[in-house]
């Protein structure tokens, strides 16, 4: 390791670049909470004064609460379903020899890449041809398509990261496949499962395009925000709402990633070996 | 204690209770078990992707008549799409904006991924989480944040005015192609960083040492070892940004203005205000074909370049 030291010499310009990169990555988002406490209807400098009235105003709005409830419902169902399916899919992909595995995995991962507008439009066309009315259920199906790849991608490193012989030991000691899964495999991948639940919930909770095409009369929270963006006088309360959503999302995702940090460590170790 | 474990393991060696031949055979077959586990996901994805897309393709050959569809087969939509210059202009502009966004994002993210892969030794995980964290949060709100920053009376303009740097707001910031490109590059950065990081992290460090021992300086070392070996990451990063941004709808709507409008907005309008679903379907198919063609050309080109380098 020490022989590579000349490569590992600290690189000052690169360090500065990395710092600037992170600042630019985060600062634009931080303006939302900053202006949400600004005592002015206009979103500009100089700041007028500190206020929390936009948050209190939000509290009294019925539609916000409705939208929140809808988003929580959809997010909850989507995260449970996609993680449930994701566990089995990730196990199958990492543990068993499946003919045509490569193409199958790429097929599952397709929604990560194809523009979501095309997925939304295609599903909308299908639903209208089948005569299914748009509702929160159709949004749930749309979100499931997006979240399944995320769930599987989160879980695969977990399954790859632990020693398969532990499962074999359990089988040798007389557990059948079902109990081996619940008593050995599941506890080992549990951080991944938690992370998948939290990440898919956040993705669904924050998703806009699918909801835009597939929701009926009941709006999700991003849909509500979208509808308010047209009205300049609503800007400050949208800022307050956006700040709350962003804070919750950031905490949720950070927690999820942190719980699942072992997966990265083991994947990195695998690379070094 | 040891007696017990011995006796259980002996008990295990007894022949298992008789179950049907076929069932036992299937149970033992790894492929069967794998396919069984994967089948719910595959079935769902097949149902949710293949069927809607086949209907979308079918519909693109229909025409809208009033509030219903004329289901006789016709290529009229495709003809209209090629004939109307506005459609071509929008498509070309979308591909152009996405192309620039891709180049900008990959160029900006490469040094960052390089830094984390080669120069961060402690808390690597922390850096990766920090770089990808915003990506998981609301896309809509991140775009909205840029609207606040770039707006006519937004952060940059009002800050520059209040320190007396400029007198009137800079108009090119909002509702322009550059606004769309800045926002897209910012929003999709995580998508570029991860594949770049993974490909850089995989590079065998002893190759770099060998290059140095054989007399290459840092610059030559980078261009002869690091860059060619990280090309797979560059390719996937480029595709991961180019493909989804081409069809983006939120950013051009919120920040694009007339100069920055993109094909995604037109597709949405066909399904909304204009209410010509078959035309929208045809435009979606055209967009996908264009993306597929450009991606294929890009992959072939990079393969060619890679062969020439190595």
- pLDDT value at B291 more than 80: yes
Q: Phi and psi of B63, rounded to 5°?
A: -135, 155
Question: Is B38 near chain A, with CB under 8 Å?
Answer: yes
- pLDDT value at B122 more than 50: yes
Distance set, CA B43 to CA A94, B11, B48, B280 (Å) = 19, 40, 8, 27
- pLDDT value at A179 more than 90: no
Residue B260: HSE in the Cβ half-sphere, 13 Å Cα cutoff: 27
Query: Can you give the pLDDT at residue A23?
Result: 93
Token pair for A44? 């500009």
Closest CA to A210 of A104, A119, A149: A119
Give mean pLDDT, residues A47-63: 85
ipTM of the complex: 0.86
Confidence of residue A270 (pLDDT cuts 50, 70, 90): very low
Q: What percent of chain A has pLDDT over 90?
A: 41
Backbone dihedral region of B275: left (phi > 0), alpha (psi from -120 to 50 degrees) or beta?
A: left
First to last CA, chain B: 62
In order of their start, the domains of chain A are: 12-272 (1.10.3720.10)
Please report how the helices B277-309 and B263-271 are oriented relative to each other, as an axis angle in degrees rounded to 10: 150
Contact indicator for A56, A181 with CB cutoff of 8 Å: no
Give A97's contacts in chain B (Cβ within 8 Å): 30-31, 34
Give mean pLDDT, residues A11-20: 90
Asked which of A213-227, A249-263, B238-252 is least confident by mean pLDDT, the reply is A249-263
Confidence of residue A223 (pLDDT cuts 50, 70, 90): very high
Confidence of residue B286 (pLDDT cuts 50, 70, 90): very high
Query: Can you give the pLDDT at residue A264?
Result: 59
Strand partners, B63: B70
Closest CA to B48 of B56, B58, B60: B56
* One-letter-per-residue 3-state SS of chain A: CHHHHHHHCCCHHHHHHHHHHHHHHHHHHHHHHHHHCECCCCCCCCCCCECCHHHHHHHCCHHHHHHHHHHHHHHHHHHHHHHHHHHHHHHHHHHCCCCCHHHHHHHHHHHHCCCHHHHHHHHHHHHHHHCCCCCHHHHHHHHHHHHHHHHHHHHHHHHHHCCHHHHHHHHHCCCCHHHHHHHHHHHHHHHHHHHHHHHHHHHHHHCCHHHHHHCCCCCCHHHHHHHHCCCHHHHHHHHHHHHHHHHHHHHHHHHHHHHCHHHHHHHHHHHHC
Query: Can you give the pLDDT at residue A146?
Result: 93
Give mean pLDDT, residues A106-114: 87
Give mean pLDDT, residues B196-211: 90
Residue A44: HSE in the Cβ half-sphere, 13 Å Cα cutoff: 16
Cβ within 8 Å, pair A44-B153: yes
Report the helix count and the strand count for chain B, using DSSP H and E: 17, 2
Structural Rg of chain B based on CA atoms:
27
Q: What percent of chain B has pLDDT over 90?
A: 36
- pLDDT value at B309 more than 50: yes
Domain limits of chain B?
A: 2-59, 84-309
- pLDDT value at A263 more than 90: no
Smallest CA–CA distance from A228 into chain B, residue: B144
Contact indicator for B268, A226 with CB cutoff of 8 Å: no
Closest CA to B44 of A165, A123, A66: A123
Closest CA to B119 of A10, A93, A162, A42: A10
| 3 state SS of B175 | coil
Confidence of residue B5 (pLDDT cuts 50, 70, 90): very low
> Alpha-carbon distance A212 to A230, whole Å?
15
Asked which of A131-140, A255-264, B58-67, B288-297 is least confident by mean pLDDT, the reply is A255-264
- pLDDT value at B129 more than 90: no
Asked which of A95-109, A187-201, B10-24, B272-286 is least confident by mean pLDDT, the reply is B10-24
Query: Can you give the pLDDT at residue B308?
Result: 76
Asked which of A18-22, A135-139, B226-230 is least confident by mean pLDDT, the reply is B226-230
Q: What is the DSSP letter of B63?
A: E
Residues within 8 A of A (CB atoms), B 90-109 only:
108
Q: Phi and psi of B69, rounded to 5°?
A: -105, 140
Smallest CA–CA distance from A247 into chain B, residue: B137
> Alpha-carbon distance B245 to B256, whole Å?
13
- pLDDT value at B203 more than 70: yes
Query: Can you give the pLDDT at residue A8?
Result: 58
Please report how the helices B277-309 and B51-59 are oriented relative to each other, as an axis angle in degrees rounded to 10: 110
Closest CA to B127 of B190, B85, B171, B178: B190
Q: Minimal Cα–Cα distance from B72 to chain A, Å?
A: 16
Q: What percent of chain A has pLDDT over 70?
A: 92
Give mean pLDDT, residues B235-257: 91
> Alpha-carbon distance B197 to B110, whole Å?
8
Give B151's contacts in chain A (Cβ within 8 Å): 43-44
Cβ within 8 Å, pair B254-A229: yes
Query: Can you give the pLDDT at residue B27?
Result: 60
- pLDDT value at A272 more than 50: no
- What is the residue whose two structure tokens read 């996908």? B288
Query: Can you give the pLDDT at residue B24?
Result: 64
Query: Can you give the pLDDT at residue A1?
Result: 41
Give B119's contacts in chain A (Cβ within 8 Å): 8, 10-11, 14-15
First to last CA, chain A: 14
- List, for residues A113-169, the tens digit of each pLDDT value: 888 899 999 999 999 989 999 999 999 999 999 999 999 998 988 888 777 788 888
Contact indicator for A161, A267 with CB cutoff of 8 Å: yes
Q: What percent of chain B has pLDDT over 70?
A: 90
Distance set, CA B217 to CA B113, B214, B221 (Å) = 21, 9, 6
Contact indicator for B45, A106 with CB cutoff of 8 Å: no
> Alpha-carbon distance B175 to A95, whole Å?
50
**Choosing among B69, B116, B140, which should be mutated to test the A contact, i.e. which has the most A CBs within 10 A?**
B140
What mean pLDDT, rounded, does chain A reach?
A: 86
Query: Can you give the pLDDT at residue B19?
Result: 57
- How far does Cα A85 stand from its chain's mean position? 16
Cβ within 8 Å, pair B37-A46: no
What mean pLDDT, rounded, does chain B reach?
A: 85
Distance set, CA B218 to CA A220, B22, B113, B223 (Å) = 52, 63, 17, 9
pTM of the entire predicted model: 0.85
Q: Selecting from 3.30.360.10, 1.10.3720.10, 3.30.70.1430, 3.40.718.10, what CATH number does the domain B84-309 have?
A: 1.10.3720.10
Collect all residues with Cβ–Cβ distance below 8 Å to A10 and sequence separation of at least 6: B119
- List, for residues B90-116, the tens digit of each pLDDT value: 999 999 999 999 999 999 999 999 999
Give A264's contacts in chain B (Cβ within 8 Å): 124-125, 128
Distance set, CA A130 to CA A127, A133, B49, B52 (Å) = 5, 9, 15, 11
- List, for residues A233-247, the tens digit of each pLDDT value: 888 888 899 999 999
> Alpha-carbon distance B290 to B297, whole Å?
11
Token pair for B132? 């990808």
Query: Can you give the pLDDT at residue A211?
Result: 93
């Amino acid at each position: 390791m020490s022989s590579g030291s000349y490569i590992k010499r600290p690189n000052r310009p690169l360090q500065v670049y990395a710092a600037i990169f992170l600042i630019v990555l985060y600062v634009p988002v931080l303006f939302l909470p900053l202006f949400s406490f600004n005592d002015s209807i206009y979103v500009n400098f100089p700041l007028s004064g500190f206020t929390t009235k936009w948050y209190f105003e939000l509290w009294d709005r019925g539609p916000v609460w409705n939208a929140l409830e809808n988003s929580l419902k959809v997010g909850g169902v989507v995260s449970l379903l996609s993680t449930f399916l994701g566990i089995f899919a990730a196990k199958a992909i990492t543990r068993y020899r499946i003919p045509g595995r490569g193409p199958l995995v790429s097929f599952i991962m397709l929604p990560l890449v194809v523009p979501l507008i095309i997925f939304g439009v295609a599903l909308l066309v299908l639903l209208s041809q089948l005569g299914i009315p748009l509702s929160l259920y159709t949004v749930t199906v749309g979100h499931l398509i997006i979240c399944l790849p995320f769930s599987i991608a989160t879980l695969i490193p977990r399954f790859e990261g632990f020693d398969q012989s532990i499962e074999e030991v359990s089988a040798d000691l007389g557990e059948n496949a079902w109990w081996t899964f619940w008593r050995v495999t599941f506890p080992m991948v549990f951080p991944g499962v938690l992370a998948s639940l939290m990440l898919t919930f956040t993705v669904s909770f924050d998703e806009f395009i699918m909801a835009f095409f597939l929701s009926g009369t009941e709006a999700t929270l991003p849909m509500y925000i979208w509808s308010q963006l047209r009205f300049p006088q609503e800007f400050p309360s949208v800022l307050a709402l956006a700040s709350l959503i962003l804070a919750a999302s950031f905490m949720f995702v950070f927690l999820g990633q942190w719980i699942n940090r072992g997966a990265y460590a083991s994947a990195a170790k695998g690379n070094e070996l | 204690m040891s007696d017990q474990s011995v006796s259980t393991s002996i008990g295990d060696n007894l022949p298992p209770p008789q179950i049907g031949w076929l069932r036992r055979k299937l149970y033992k077959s790894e492929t069967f078990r794998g396919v069984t586990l994967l089948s719910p996901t595959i079935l769902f994805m097949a149902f949710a992707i293949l069927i809607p897309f086949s209907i979308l393709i079918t519909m693109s050959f229909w025409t809208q008549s009033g509030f219903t569809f004329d289901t006789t087969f016709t290529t009229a939509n495709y003809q209209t799409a090629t004939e109307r210059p506005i459609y071509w202009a929008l498509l070309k502009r979308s591909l152009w904006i996405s192309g620039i966004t891709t180049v900008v994002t990959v160029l900006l993210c490469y040094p960052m991924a390089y830094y984390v892969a080669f120069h961060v030794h402690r808390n690597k995980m922390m850096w990766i989480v920090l770089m990808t964290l915003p990506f998981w949060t609301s896309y809509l709100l991140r775009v909205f944040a840029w609207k606040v920053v770039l707006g006519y009376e937004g952060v940059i303009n009002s800050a520059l005015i209040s320190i007396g740097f400029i007198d009137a707001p800079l108009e090119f910031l909002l509702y322009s192609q550059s606004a769309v490109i800045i926002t897209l590059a910012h929003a999709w950065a995580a998508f570029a960083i991860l594949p770049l990081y993974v490909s850089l992290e995989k590079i065998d460090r002893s190759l770099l040492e060998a290059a140095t021992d054989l007399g290459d300086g840092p610059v030559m070392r980078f261009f002869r070892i690091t860059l060619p070996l990280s090309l797979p990451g560059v390719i996937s990063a480029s595709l991961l940004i180019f493909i989804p941004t081409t069809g983006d709808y939120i950013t051009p709507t919120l920040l694009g203005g007339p100069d920055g409008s993109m094909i995604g907005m037109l597709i949405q309008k066909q399904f909304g205000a204009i209410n010509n679903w078959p035309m929208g379907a045809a435009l979606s198919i055209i967009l996908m074909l264009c993306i597929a063609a450009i991606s294929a050309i890009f992959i072939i080109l990079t393969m060619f370049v890679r062969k020439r380098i190595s």
